[in-house]
């Protein structure tokens, strides 16, 4: 099955819930509406044969109003080696996405990591707690609203850092 056939099946089944199809470097990429992500995940797994979830991550786009956080899924069909990427955008004020753990077991720790670093709330996740940072942390450090370093530090020699 090629990218065009996958695109056609997704469009036929889900209509406007899937959009923004593109193929950077041959990798079929599309966007899915938040309320349809679980249905699309099941379809990718059960109907299209993408039984392996290679990766799941999040990205913070602070300039995109009401679509500040993106959850990115990378699927692979083990038999054919074909890969597909799906993006789900959510507002930072309500970062709720249905969990993929019921479809892909590998999503468990990947979703915990996305929660830990970006604050994405995976609805229905069996154990959505921080995985790398301490529980007392009251922010999500990979959001772009935090500075990369403390600009007031005086113990650095700027010449050593090319500044």
Higher pLDDT, 144 or 50: 50
> Is residue 127 situated within a structural domain?
yes
Report residue 124 as tokens: 């229905």
Q: Residue 154: its pLDDT value, please?
A: 64
Give the pLDDT band (50/70/90) at residue 17. Answer: very high
Q: Residue 1: its pLDDT value, please?
A: 87
Decide: pTM greater than 0.85: yes
> Is residue 57 situated within a structural domain?
yes
> Is residue 159 situated within a structural domain?
no
Give the pLDDT band (50/70/90) at residue 146. Answer: confident
CATH of residue 12: 3.30.460.80
Res. 155: pLDDT tops 60: yes
22-54 residue pLDDT tens? 999 999 999 999 999 999 999 999 999 999 999
Domain region containing 136: 3-143
> Is residue 157 situated within a structural domain?
no
Say what percent of the chain tops pLDDT 90.
80
* Distant-in-sequence contacts of 98-102, Cβ < 8 A, 24+ apart: 98/37, 98/38, 98/122, 98/123, 98/124, 99/123, 99/124, 99/125, 99/126, 99/128, 100/37, 100/38, 100/41, 100/53, 100/56, 100/73, 101/125, 101/126
Give the pLDDT band (50/70/90) at residue 151. Answer: low
Q: Residue 124: its pLDDT value, please?
A: 96
> Is residue 150 situated within a structural domain?
no
Report residue 28 as tokens: 């079929």
Res. 149: pLDDT tops 70: no
Q: How far is CA 100 from the centre of its chain?
A: 11
Helices 3-14/37-46 angle, 10° precision: 130
> Is residue 78 situated within a structural domain?
yes
Q: How many domains does the chain have?
A: 1
Higher pLDDT, 137 or 65: 65
> Is residue 117 situated within a structural domain?
yes
């Amino acid at each position: 099955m090629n990218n065009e056939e996958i695109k056609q099946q997704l469009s036929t089944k889900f209509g406007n819930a899937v959009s923004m199809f593109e193929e950077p470097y041959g990798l079929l990429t599309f966007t899915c509406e938040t309320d349809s992500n679980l249905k699309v995940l099941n379809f990718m797994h059960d109907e299209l044969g993408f039984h392996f979830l290679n990766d799941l991550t999040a990205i913070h786009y602070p300039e995109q109003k009401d679509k500040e956080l993106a959850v990115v899924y990378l699927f692979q069909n083990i038999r054919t080696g074909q890969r597909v990427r799906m993006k789900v955008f959510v507002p930072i004020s309500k970062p709720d996405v249905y969990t993929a753990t019921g479809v892909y077991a590998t999503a468990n720790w990947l979703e915990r990591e996305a929660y830990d670093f970006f604050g994405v709330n995976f609805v229905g996740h069996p154990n959505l707690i921080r995985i790398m940072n301490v529980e007392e942390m009251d922010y999500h450090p990979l959001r772009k609203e935090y500075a990369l370093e403390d600009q007031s530090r005086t113990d650095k020699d700027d010449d050593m850092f090319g500044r």
